[in-house]
């Protein structure tokens, strides 16, 4: 058992288009000597979609190592905690080895985060599973969403660690109208995306449901948007740069930028603001 001590602690609002409109992440800026069990206990207590712990890196090219916990489990990678933890690390005096680029070490490997002033963007990690959903999984998800299978325009495994799958519907309006019964898919990590009409402020509306991680609906999900971005831009179904609205149905105003470089690297960007600074005794 770790001897409790005071550690710097912040909460960061990620992807917010208006103050306190994004997805918060709790960050313990010194996770040294904490056990996984102790980290999980704190993550369960904060009751946020993710709580992270910053540690000294093991990889020589990394600036820090990050462990990421939902209220139920540890994740190898998550998007909004990556951006929020990078902002917290910079705010706490962290200096990257290379100007304008932070290298985060996590369970999924090394993740690059670009920063220019207040702007942060992470490079999407490789997907560990892709391809169309099998019929049984698709049928269960469609039933949980309460829609006819014919309304699904496309579907795909977009798993970069958390286990994501996604259904594409024809319109953003259809996505916003979903009233899923998550009791039918209690272990799922699944999203829905649909397009806005041309000329709208955003290209797509995204919703992500993570009952498998103890999070019924995530206000803004970087990892889902990263893998969906790889899928949509890689197939030519989306432009090389687009914007996603998320969190509307849970009272948030999140905006997420997705950009694909000519080499195929997908970057996910958004605002990050430290909203709470203090300490936590763990």
Among 18, 30, 69, residue whose Cα is nearest residue 48: 69
Q: Do residues 64 and 56 make contact, with C-beta atoms less than 8 angstroms apart?
A: yes
Q: Could you write out the DSSP letters of every residue in 60-122?
A: TT-SEEEEEE-SS-EES--HHHHHHHHHHHHHTT---SBTTEEEEEETTEEEEEEEETTEEEE
Name the active-site residue from 17, 50, 105, 205. Answer: 50
Strands 254-260 and 129-131 turn out to be unpaired
* 79-246-164 Cα angle (round to 5): 50
Could you confirm whether 116 is annotated as catalytic?
Answer: no
Determine the Cα–Cα distance for residues 61 and 226; give it in Å rounded to an integer. Answer: 23
- Using the CB atoms, write b or e for 109-118: b if 16+ within 10 Å: eebebebeee
Q: Which residues are catalytic?
A: 50
């Amino acid at each position: 058992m770790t001897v409790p001590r005071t550690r710097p602690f912040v909460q960061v609002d990620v992807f917010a288009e208006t103050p306190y409109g994004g997805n918060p992440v709790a960050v313990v800026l010194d996770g040294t000597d904490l056990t996984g069990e102790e980290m999980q206990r704190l993550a369960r207590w904060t009751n946020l979609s993710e709580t992270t712990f910053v540690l000294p890196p093991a990889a020589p090219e990394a600036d820090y190592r990050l462990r990421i916990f939902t209220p139920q489990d540890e994740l190898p990678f998550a998007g909004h905690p990556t951006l929020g933890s990078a902002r917290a690390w910079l705010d706490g005096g962290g200096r990257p080895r290379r100007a304008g680029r932070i290298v985060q070490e996590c369970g999924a490997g090394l993740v690059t985060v670009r920063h220019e002033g207040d702007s942060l963007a992470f490079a999407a990690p490789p997907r560990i599973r892709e391809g169309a959903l099998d019929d049984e999984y698709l049928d269960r998800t469609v039933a949980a969403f309460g829609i006819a299978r014919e309304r699904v325009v496309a579907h795909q495994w977009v798993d970069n660690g958390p286990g994501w799958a996604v259904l594409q519907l024809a319109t953003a309006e259809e996505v916003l109208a979903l009233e899923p019964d998550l009791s039918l898919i209690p272990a799922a990590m699944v999203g829905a995306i649909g397009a806005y009409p041309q000329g709208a402020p955003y290209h797509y509306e995204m919703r992500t449901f993570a009952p498998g991680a103890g999070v019924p609906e995530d206000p803004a999900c970087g990892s889902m948007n990263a893998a969906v971005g790889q899928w949509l831009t890689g197939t030519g179904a989306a432009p090389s740069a687009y914007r996603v609205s998320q969190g509307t149905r849970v009272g948030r105003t999140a905006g997420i930028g997705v950009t694909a470089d000519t080499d195929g690297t997908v970057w996910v960007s958004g605002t990050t603001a430290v909203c709470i600074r203090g300490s936590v005794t763990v």
